[in-house]
Homo-oligomer: A and B are copies of this chain.
Amino acid sequence: MTEISTLGEFGLIDRLTEGLAPFNASTLLGVGDDCAVMNYASDAKNRVVATTDMLMEGIHFDLTYTPLKHLGYKAAMVNLSDVYAMNARPRQLLVSIAVGRKCKVEHLDELYAGLRLACERHGVDLVGGDTTSSLTGVAISITCLGEVEEERIVKRSGAHDTDLICVSGNLGAAYLGLQLLEREKRVLSGQKGGTETVAQPDFSGREYLIERILKPEARRDVIDALQKAEILPTAMIDISDGLSSELMHICKKSGVGCRIYEEKIPVDYQTALAAEEFGMNVYTAALNGGEDYELLFTVPLTAHELVTTLPDVKEIGYVTRAELGQKLVTRDGQEFDLKAQGWNPLAEKSEA
């Protein structure tokens, strides 16, 4: 293992960013000056989008079970997901990382390997950042820039009465994956200082849940499929805090109500099994679990036929007038008000 101080800040940056070649014509100047320089399409229709997210050790991730490569990958995905949620295409990433004394050069190599893999898969250029130290935990802050034609921008505010509510993939898997990891952590920490035969965690049959929490994938494929099918959503948001919370954002911003059906909420078989094991209602996990990084969007009622042709997209309900409220209809036909019980990092320490 190599001490960071042997390379110095600039030697470290050179090492971490070595051989980065731009994927995008808009990237004129990357790492190595006071700013990155971009040349976006000089087209009156072209718009630039920007989003930023910060991940803090102990709040957003636990290094006892999070490989650094996955952490780098996920930190990028969280931001890419926000860009896709505007129906935009990610182009550039700026990465700031603060690490403690225990962190060696090889740890940062791992983290950057994950960041680079995410950038490669999504055709994004790593153009800048800041690498500094932390007295305590690891902090990662990423900013993503993207492009979109003005008429293709999809905000949270465009949903209309009678629109269909759609969601990609399935929900609740990341939340159950986190529960599995936390349980294993408790078991293993109980064995500390114990005998020589320390049990290794056995996640066989649950790999999908573990992958959903540790290595989520931003849904570019859904944005591609929507474009190919010539469907322009009226409103869109990515699901980071849980379906309920995100749907309520769309309703608030659009001035509408909604009605969704529990039985239509997509849930994976592994998620359902794990929920049963934890004695938990799987729909609670799907509605409030968070960290799914799926896309939630609304389309005009007339797009129903087209939506059914989209792979991995489900209709879960429809938009109503605001005065009808934000409703969940359960399997047994009862109606409940949706509640935002999503992950709130600023409230008391959450389970998630």
Contact = CB atoms under 8 A, between A and B. Distances in A.
Interface string A124-135: 000111111111
A43 B40 contact: no
Contacts of A37: 47-49, 86, 148, 153
B346 A5 contact: yes
Nearest to A344: B9
- Chain B CB count within 10 A is highest, among A48, A128, A155, A347, for A48
Interface in A69-112: 82-83, 85-86, 88, 92, 94-98
A291 to B, nearest CB: 14
Contacts of A153: 37
Instruction: Give the interface centre of A32, A59, A127, A139 by most chain B CB atoms within 10 Å.
Output: A139
A52 B86 contact: no
A82 to B, nearest CB: 4
A36 B50 contact: yes
Interface residues of A, number: 77
Interface string A24-63: 0000110011111111101110111111111011111000
A156 interface: yes
A345 B12 CA distance: 12
A288 interface: no
A177 interface: no
Contact of A38 (B4, B47, B57, B130): B47
A53 B130 contact: yes
B133 A136 contact: no
A168 interface: no
Contacts of A156: 32-34
B50 A145 contact: yes
B59 A133 contact: yes
Contact of A28 (B36, B43, B47, B249): B47
A86 B34 contact: yes
Contact of A50 (B96, B143, B155): B143
Contacts of A148: 37
A9 B185 CA distance: 28
B52 A94 contact: yes
Contacts of A304: none
Contacts of A92: 50
A98 B48 contact: no
B146 A35 contact: yes
Nearest to A132: B345
A46 B54 CA distance: 30
Contacts of A40: 40, 48
A141 interface: yes
Interface in A144-170: 145-146, 148, 150, 153, 155-157
Contact of A42 (B33, B46, B346): B46
Interface in A309-352: 344-348
A237 interface: yes
Interface of A: 4-5, 8-10, 12, 28-29, 32-40, 42-44, 46-54, 56-60, 82-83, 85-86, 88, 92, 94-98, 127-137, 139, 141, 143, 145-146, 148, 150, 153, 155-157, 236-238, 249, 253, 344-348
Q: Sort A-B residue pairs by CB-CB distance and give the 8 closest, nearest first.
A: A141-B141, A136-B136, A35-B49, A54-B96, A58-B135, A34-B85, A143-B143, A42-B44
